[in-house]
Every structure is written in C-alpha cells, then in structure tokens.
Amino acid sequence: MSEQKDLNQLGEFGLIDHLSNEFTTIHPSTIKGIGDDAAVISVSETEAMVVSTDMLVEGIHFNLMYTPLMHLGYKSVVVNLSDICAMNAKPEQITVSLAFSSKFPLEAIEELYKGIKAACDVYKVDLVGGDTSTSYSGLTISITAIGRVQKDKITYRSGANEYDLLVVSGDLGAAYMGLQVLEREKEVFKANPDIQPDLEGFDYIIKRQLKPEARKDIVEFLAELEVVPTAMIDISDGLASEILHICKSSKVGCHIYDEKIPIDGATSLAAIDFNLDPATCALNGGEDYELLFTVKQSDYEKIKGNPHMTVIGHMTNENDGCYFIDKNGSAITLKAQGWNHFGQ
C-alpha cells in the first residue's frame, strides 16, 4: 500500500525523473537523452536520428467497446510519429511490439495491422521490426518511431526565449469531447443495449478521438516557410501541460489568451452539451496531437495568415510566471490538469 501511495505522490513525470536520476549518457553520439519528445542521436556531422517510444494499454489508453481495431492500429502509429514531428524531424521507420491474451482472434490482430499499414502508407514510414508476446489479459501496443533531421533544424522543448510568439497548429479540445461522447454512449448502451448510439453531429470530434493525425504537414510547411521554431512539443496531455513543459525546459514564462485558442465549432457545441467550458477542454483535454511551438517575433510575417497555425500568446520572463488571460482580461495561473495515469 505504501509503495502505491509513493507512486501517486510522484506522478508520471516525477517518477520518470526519480528513475532516470542515476543515469548519465556516456556516448558523444547521444545528443539528447531523456526529457524531450524524442531522443536525439548523432549520425553524421550534419544529420541526427530521433527516437521515441509510446505505449497504449487496453483499459487505460483505449476501450475496445468503442474503438475499432483498425483505428487503434492507426492511432498507435500516429501518436509516435507525432513525437518525431515535435522534434521538427521526418519519421522514417517504426517497430511494433504487441502483447495480447488468447481471447484475441487472428482476425482482430489482422484488423489492428490493417490500421498500422494504413498509417505506414499515409506517413510513408517503414515497419522494420517489433516483438510479439501473449499476456494474461488485454492488449498492449508499444511502438518505437525513428526519424531523421538536419542538426541545425532540431527543435527541443528548451529553446524558447522571452518575447517569442507561442503558436499552435489546427484546433484543440476536439479529441477530448469525442471521448466524452463515446463514453456517454457506452454508458447508455450498458444500461440498455437496445438503444442505438446517438452520434449524430459528432463526426468531427469522434474522428479526432479515434483517428488522430500527426502534423507532419506542419513540419513541411515550416521548412517551406524557412521557419525553424525555437521550441516545439506535441499536444498529447493538453495545452496547459505542454505549455508548462516548454516554459520549464526553456526557463521562460508565458501569457496565453483565451480568445486566441483555436476551437472548432463542433467542439464548442459538444462542450456546451456537456456543460463544459470549451477553453477548459482545450487546456486540459489532451490527445489533440497538434504541434505547439515558439517562433521569433521576426518570423511573424512568415506564419501570419497561415490557416494551419494560430498565435495564442507569447513568452515572458521566467520570473513573470505562466498565465492564461481570460476573456475579461483576468490573468489566471496556468496549471497542468492533463492526463495523469498515476492519479496525483
């Protein structure tokens, strides 16, 4: 019991810090170890390889009651490619490791692999290996993604400076609202299996939950615009949590503005349906897999008017703190309330 309590107190990030404390890197080729979206390994004078692993566990990250296996396969790849994109790198290979119980028929694993194949085709990545095991219960998928980047284009979480602009791709909060709708319909179905799920009007947000995309296109747009962000992270745990990662790593503060946060109309409507504030869903929802990055003010002209990118705030001095400015102009301290699988 006491061990469990300690884990809860540490939280996910505290635990990673705690465990990795004793490790130092010894190879000069290890440019960046633990602490960013992907590790960075030198492969030549000008190029680096980036490597990232993410694990999806049944009952924690997905529910097979409403997650089609093909979508799950696709999403498992995408969440890993998203971390590669967050380094401003191009994904090239993946490995796939699976553990599943004997209750899974061959057809189910084939469906999962159809999704994995679809993602490999869309993102032009090669499946180059993996591992397969049985498990006592449930399905676990662990994917490692490998990418490539020019050394002078690598974008860490730690490079943001005071006065830089904070930019986000796409729109936020949709995947979280999609999850709320799916969870609600699951409960209705459990109570009465004869009632058909009511998903009318929720197509966009459900798609954002079940079939997210990695913003490889944003990395390409930035290259075309000749903009190298000063810092970047992907939004897996919610905007607030990711902004705080950038602020902490870069030793800066920030101001973000409520009215600037891009939220799709369908997300707002669903949020209102659930009595939730759309901005709260964007701040704390997670699983958007959009890119959050900072750029120098002098790059503003290049990204201005781009329909895929929205400036939501700017970086400040570390001592000024991290604030969300609401629609009335009140400054509220930014707090991370994203997913934390260890409770906390």
Which residues of the shown chain bind ligand ADP in the complex (CB under 6 A)?
A: 16, 19-20, 34-37, 54, 83, 236
37: annotated binding-site residue? Answer: yes
Window 3 to 42, contacts with Mg ion (CB under 5 A): 37
Nearer to ligand ADP among residue 19 and residue 65 (C-beta): 19
130: annotated binding-site residue? Answer: yes
Residue 221 CB neighbours (<10 A): 17
Nearer to ligand ADP among residue 19 and residue 60 (C-beta): 19
Binding status of residue 290 toward Mg ion by CB under 5 A: no
Instruction: Give the nearest distance from C-beta 17 to ligand ADP in angstroms.
Output: 9
113: annotated binding-site residue? Answer: yes
Binding status of residue 287 toward Mg ion by CB under 5 A: no
Q: Which does 36 bind (CB under 5 to 8 A by kind): ligand ADP, Mg ion, none?
A: ligand ADP
194: annotated binding-site residue? Answer: no
How many whole angstroms separate alpha carbon 219 and alpha carbon 82? 10
Q: Which does 132 bind (CB under 5 to 8 A by kind): ligand ADP, Mg ion, none?
A: none
280: annotated binding-site residue? Answer: no
Helix axes 203-210, 174-191, angle to 10 degrees: 100
Nearer to Mg ion among residue 141 and residue 271 (C-beta): 141
Q: Which does 35 bind (CB under 5 to 8 A by kind): Mg ion, ligand ADP, none?
A: ligand ADP
The residue at minimum Cβ distance from Mg ion is 37
Instruction: Give the nearest distance from C-beta 111 to ligand ADP in angstroms.
Output: 25
Binding status of residue 234 toward Mg ion by CB under 5 A: yes
Binding status of residue 83 toward Mg ion by CB under 5 A: yes
Nearer to Mg ion among residue 222 and residue 276 (C-beta): 222
Query: How crowded is the C-beta side of 33, counted as CA atoms within 13 Å?
Result: 13
Q: Which does 20 bind (CB under 5 to 8 A by kind): ligand ADP, Mg ion, none?
A: ligand ADP
Nearer to Mg ion among residue 54 and residue 264 (C-beta): 54
How many whole angstroms separate alpha carbon 119 and alpha carbon 139? 19
Binding status of residue 237 toward Mg ion by CB under 5 A: no
- Residues touching Mg ion: how many (CB under 5 A)? 3
Question: Which residues contribute to the site for Mg ion (CB under 5 A)?
Answer: 37, 83, 234
Feature table: binding site for substrate: 61, 287, 339
